[in-house]
Amino acid sequence: MKAIACAAMVSAASIASLTSSSWAHEIQLPDSFDDLALIEIAPGIFVLHGMQAMPDPANNGFMSNSGVLLTERGVVIIDSGGSAEVAAAMLDRIAILTDAPVIAVFNTHVHGDHWLGNAEVLRRYPGVPIFAHERAIERLQGGEASAWAAIMGGLTDRETSGVEVSLPTAGLSGGETLAFDSINLVVHHTGHAHTDSDIMLELPGQKIVFAGDVIEYGRAVSSDVPADFSARGQIEAIDYLLALNVELFVPGHGPTGDREIAEASRDFLQTLYASVERHYEEGLLDYEMRDLVAADLRAYSDWANFEELGRLISYVYLQVEEAAWD
């Protein structure tokens, strides 16, 4: 295996390094697809941070974070990205670090921006096992895979038929520990959170967790597919992660950082839910409370997708209403 190359030896646009104690504000998120880079957050552990943007033809669906783990036997990828182009660029940068093959891929949940790169990984490394929660596999095989290909293909100006789909086939339920030489991955699943198919991958030896979209930072949480998430379930999942012996949190979107990343994501959801619940009890309908909820969330008004708050309020309103009848 090639030695890990530092930024000065390769390219500042391709590889960068940070100490494990770095704060989120020290990571600069990319502004374009050309800024795609691997950031080393611990020895042999890298994060490809996506843009805080919706998919479009220029960024090739480069919007979510991916993890890259270098083990003695090969490379483990956590989330393959939102397109073949994203996965190809990531694999090209991995090849700068090592000539070892990819030996496993994990998809953290059902949403296409986290797994549509699977096909490119399998094209280069046929037969690589792709792990996901068993519910994600069930949903994707049930028709959601083609729906995600159509959504992402449309947003990135590709014909749906040109978006190749390769699904995860190795099912997980949570509680498993998978060993990759010196790296152990502990699989966590807390139920219905960002989706009903989330897996959160803890590296106990490194005190790192790859949280998928259970944690999002600098971005209106769950606003892309609001019907898929449980606000209270996601809050509980974040509290679960905060109780682990973890020092570094890798969100599904936004910069990697310490507990502030998880806490900010949880606080956004808590404030959102509490505000909608309060105005619901006052007798307001979802569309009547939009400005009031936005005022309660003004500390997050600079987060990406905040302008879509009305849509998110509508779904939380239904959750509050359902809870009122429990």
Q: How would you classify the pairing of strands 170-172 and 15-17?
A: unpaired
Closest CA to 111 of 169, 63, 154: 63
Q: Which residue type does 281 have?
A: E
Q: Specify whether the CB–CB gap between 135 and 107 falls below 8 A.
A: no
Cα 153 to the center of its chain, rounded Å: 19
DSSP annotation of 304 reads B
**Tokens in use for 96?**
């700068």
Q: Looking at 156-296, which runs of residues are DSSP E strands?
A: 170-172, 177-180, 183-188, 200-203, 208-216, 248-253
Q: Which residue type does 15 have?
A: I
Q: Which residue has the tokens 């790192």?
A: 208
pLDDT at 27: 86
Beta bridge partners of 40: 17, 46
Mind listing the pLDDT tens digit of every residue in the chain (326 residues)?
Answer: 453 333 333 333 444 555 444 445 588 899 999 999 999 999 999 999 999 998 999 999 999 999 999 999 999 999 999 999 999 999 999 999 999 999 999 999 999 999 999 999 999 999 999 999 999 999 999 999 999 999 999 999 886 556 789 999 999 999 999 999 989 999 999 999 999 999 999 999 999 999 999 999 999 976 778 789 999 999 999 999 999 999 999 999 999 999 999 999 999 999 999 999 999 999 999 999 999 999 999 999 999 999 999 999 999 999 999 999 87
pLDDT at 11: 37
Question: To the nearest 5 percent, what fractions of the chain are helix, strand and coil?
Answer: 40, 20, 40
C-alpha span between 49 and 39 (Å, rounded): 8
- Phi, then psi, of 186 in degrees rounded to 5: -100, 125
Cα 290 to the center of its chain, rounded Å: 27
Q: How would you classify the pairing of strands 183-188 and 200-203?
A: antiparallel
Q: How would you classify the pairing of strands 130-133 and 15-17?
A: unpaired
pLDDT at 2: 53
- Model confidence, pTM: 0.92
**Tokens in use for 125?**
């490394």
Q: Specify whether the CB–CB gap between 134 and 173 falls below 8 A.
A: yes
| Residue ranges of domains in the chain, CATH in brackets | 15-324 (3.60.15.10)
What Rg, from alpha-carbon coordinates, does the chain have? 19
Helix axes 259-281, 231-242, angle to 10 degrees: 150
Q: Which residue type does 121 have?
A: V
pLDDT at 159: 65
